[in-house]
Structure 1
Amino acid sequence: MLRPIVNLTLPLALVALLAACGKEPTSEPVIRAAMVTQPQSAIELQEAYPGEVRARFEPELAFRIAGKVSKRLVDSGQRVKKNQALAELDPDDMRLKLDAMRAQLAAAEANLQLVKTERDRYKTLLGRQLVSRSQYDNTENLYRAGLARLNQAKAEYKVASNQADYAVLRAPQDGVIAERMIDVGQVVSPGQTVLSLAADGDREVQIDLPEHMVSKLEIGQKVAVELWSQPGKRYIGYIREISPSADAQSRTYAARVAFNTDTTRVALGLSARVFILEKDQDALAIPLSALTAEGQQPYVWWLDPATSTLHKRPVRVGPYGERLVPVLEGLSADDWFVLAGVEMLHEGEKVRPVDRDNRTVELTGQEPQ
């Protein structure tokens, strides 16, 4: 009686054991990591032109008289002070001319003294009725001519004295010698440029614009300047001047870009890039890897900072660049979106945001986990 019951119980136990082994334990859903970032400035997509840092004022210096250069006291790149002597002409000719003018002045003074004495004598004789009126008038005219000759000699002597001073070229203000075009022994003419001075003070960037860009730009248009010596740092400025005529050889138009901030400490001659900014738009850009499309509508995977879930965000984009594409509508500078692997994502999916170095990103407004 007991043996059949035992035989029946064993198979039932085995069946229960096998059923228990076939059940898998339940597990939490896996939250994958997603590389996220925020929009960046689209400045790199704007038109950019190479340029050079120059001084706002660059007077071209020249002698006011002709002569042979006897001394050159400065060289290119040298700092000078106001009224400092820069170059001198051979003073021999000026000295001889000044001596001649001094002699003529002395002769005019002696002549005036002679004709004055003669006039006074004739005046006394005229009062005694010993000479005629015409004789006296003749001496009076000689006196007036002598006086005029003396005034002329004084003026010529003053001119010669000034020209002797003009033989020394002096700096009109503090600055740096930007260019030197003379050397000792060279004969120069009046007004011929011999030195170029970069005056201390405001700095600008000179660029060359192609013909097709001149009509698109205007005076006062906003630009950004990046110095090669300071990568990543940009100065805001504006177009101050555009040349009305093209260079005969390069067929480009010279333009000057002024800074909005104090740049007196920016070194002269630095290389720079000038970015032409949009007039009324502060454009953003995203990497091409973050953009995907559904039909004809491009979108990005936008990350909700409060729930760390993904949602499709339609965007309107501009012309594609090599790495970036400008976003005209759909994103703000504070938004987060997925940077790569967008084809593997789903609407409403929860992710763990990380940066390019696989570090967890703390999102503003994210609820504590």
Structure 2
Amino acid sequence: MFALSQRPSIRIAYRAPLVLAALALLAACDKPAPSAEEPRPVRAITLAAGGGAERVAFSGDVRPRYESRLGFRVGGKIVERKVDVGATVSEGQVLMRLDPQDLRLAEAQARASLRAAETERDLAQADYRRHQDLRARNFVSQALLDAKQAALRAAQANVDAAQAGLRGQSNQAGYANLVADRMGVVTAVDAEVGQVVAAGTPVVRVARTDEKEVVIGIPEDRVEQLRQASEVQVRLWARPDERIPGKIREVSPVADPATRTYTVKVAIPARAEVRLGMTATVEMAAPGSAPASALRVPLSALVHDRGASAVWVVENGAVQLRRVQLAGQAGNDMLLSGGVQPGQTVVTAGVHLLKPGQKVRILTADVARRSDTEAAAGGAGQ
């Protein structure tokens, strides 16, 4: 009887765990499935070959290689100015004129002196011929004939001197016109109409347009390094996408007393689009700074992996840690000599929040890499 009365309670005890398990299973079916992890946003760059050699950039302006300060060869009062600043002039073109009155009077005086000398010569010549006839008849002595011959020679010398003086005064009269010695452009006018100038005083500056150069200033710690620059390129502010090959023509032996920099002149080919006064940037590859095969990455891209330097490389939308070898530093960038290859994408921001295999979403991918000018600006400290 006791056994029979306990059998229902035993069945209930065995069924309770089954019911609880069924309820738990139903509750689990009602929970939503965990969502996939979203890609982490990062910033990255694409490594470019040839970025290892350190490049520095300096600002300057385009100037003419030859600029003449023209002045009158005689003194006088300016009565006419025929050109303005910026005017293009050709060889032989009149730029300014002086008052020619005094010069013309001097020329007339020289011409009158020549006529007087010629008259005296003609008289001496006629006198000498008469004495030749008298000497042939033995009416005069040989000494008197010699004196007449000497007087003729002196008179001829006076004529020669008067002719030279007239040619000189004629040239002086021509110097009242200031002409351009060659084709160029007027860069400055230093005198105006009504001003009295002395001989040789510069009044107009004319620059040749066939040869131009960019003038920059470099700090003293870069002088010796950049004397042997392997590559020089010029970039105009007005044409930032075009690079013009240049060549270092002159390095000043002394520093400028105001800026304490050394003036460097970079010759560039003659081009119509390059105008005088344009702002230009000279980019140079500093020799011996780093291997040309080294790759450049921002300092923020490096992480430490068990005592070694590494970077996160993006492959198929996920990141992988790659150990790298450092080749040096260039401004705010690090130079890598191994561990990565050109064309690979390297994370530059958010590197300390990543883990291997994690999916990422690139916010900014500089496919062409930062320009050498930006990199050089940090290294040059301009």
Q: Where does structure 2 lack aligned partners over 5 or more consecutive residues?
A: 1-7, 368-382
Conserved in 2, the CA contact under 8 Å of 1:286 and 1:327? Answer: yes
Give the alignment partner of residue 302 of structure 1, picking from 284, 292, 313. 313
Conserved in 2, the CA contact under 8 Å of 1:112 and 1:146? Answer: yes
- The corresponding residue for 1:329 is 337
- The corresponding residue for 2:379 is none
Give the alignment partner of residue 353 of structure 2, picking from 335, 344, 358. 344
Q: CA RMSD in A?
A: 3.6
- The corresponding residue for 2:249 is 240
Q: Where does structure 1 lack aligned partners over 5 or more consecutive residues?
A: 362-369
- Written as runs of structure 1 = structure 2, the 5 A alignment for 1:19-58 is 20-21=25-26, 22=28, 30=37, 32=39, 34-39=42-47, 46-58=55-67
- The corresponding residue for 1:130 is 139
Distance 1:96 1:192 in 2: 23
Taking structure 1 as the reference length, the TM-score comes to 0.80
Conserved in 2, the CA contact under 8 Å of 1:98 and 1:161? Answer: yes
1:228: how far off? 2.6
Residues 1:116 and 2:125 aligned together: yes
Give the alignment partner of residue 265 of structure 1, picking from 273, 287, 291. 273
Give the alignment partner of residue 141 of structure 1, picking from 150, 156, 169. 150
- The corresponding residue for 2:362 is 354
- Written as runs of structure 1 = structure 2, the 5 A alignment for 1:149-188 is 149-188=158-197
1:209: how far off? 3.7
Give the alignment partner of residue 114 of structure 2, picking from 105, 115, 124. 105
Q: Aligned to 1:204, what secondary structure does the other structure show?
A: strand
1:140: how far off? 0.7
The one-letter amino acid paired with 1:138 is A
| CA deviation map 1:234-266 (0-9, x unaligned) | 43323211233444555544321122x553421
- The corresponding residue for 2:302 is 291
Distance 2:343 2:311 in 1: 14
Cα separation, partners in 2 of 1:278 and 1:246, compared to 1, 3 Å: closer
The one-letter amino acid paired with 2:304 is A
Across the two proteins, how many residue pairs are aligned to each other? 352
Conserved in 1, the CA contact under 8 Å of 2:312 and 2:347? Answer: yes
Q: Aligned to 1:356, what secondary structure does the other structure show?
A: strand
| CA deviation map 1:207-241 (0-9, x unaligned) | 23444544444277643333332345443323211
Q: Aligned to 1:159, what secondary structure does the other structure show?
A: helix
Q: Mean alpha-carbon deviation: is it higher for 146-155 or for 266-275?
A: 266-275
1:85: how far off? 0.8
Distance 2:61 2:162 in 1: 52
1:295: how far off? 6.2
Give the alignment partner of residue 314 of structure 1, picking from 314, 321, 324. 324
Distance 2:240 2:279 in 1: 11
Give the alignment partner of residue 277 of structure 1, picking from 279, 285, 297. 285
Distance 1:352 1:195 in 2: 66
1:342: how far off? 1.0
Distance 2:119 2:258 in 1: 62
Distance 1:299 1:117 in 2: 111
- The corresponding residue for 2:374 is none
The one-letter amino acid paired with 2:312 is W
Q: Aligned to 1:243, what secondary structure does the other structure show?
A: strand
Q: Aligned to 1:155, what secondary structure does the other structure show?
A: helix
The one-letter amino acid paired with 1:167 is A
Cα separation, partners in 2 of 1:207 and 1:134, compared to 1, 3 Å: same
Greater relative CO, 1 or 2 (CA 8 Å, sep 6+) = 2
Distance 2:305 2:321 in 1: 13
Conserved in 2, the CA contact under 8 Å of 1:317 and 1:327? Answer: yes
| CA deviation map 1:166-212 (0-9, x unaligned) | 11111122221111211222232332222211212232111234445
The one-letter amino acid paired with 1:32 is P
1:96: how far off? 0.9
- The corresponding residue for 1:364 is none
Conserved in 2, the CA contact under 8 Å of 1:202 and 1:262? Answer: yes
Cα separation, partners in 2 of 1:61 and 1:244, compared to 1, 3 Å: farther
Conserved in 2, the CA contact under 8 Å of 1:36 and 1:353? Answer: no
Percent same amino acid at aligned positions? 33
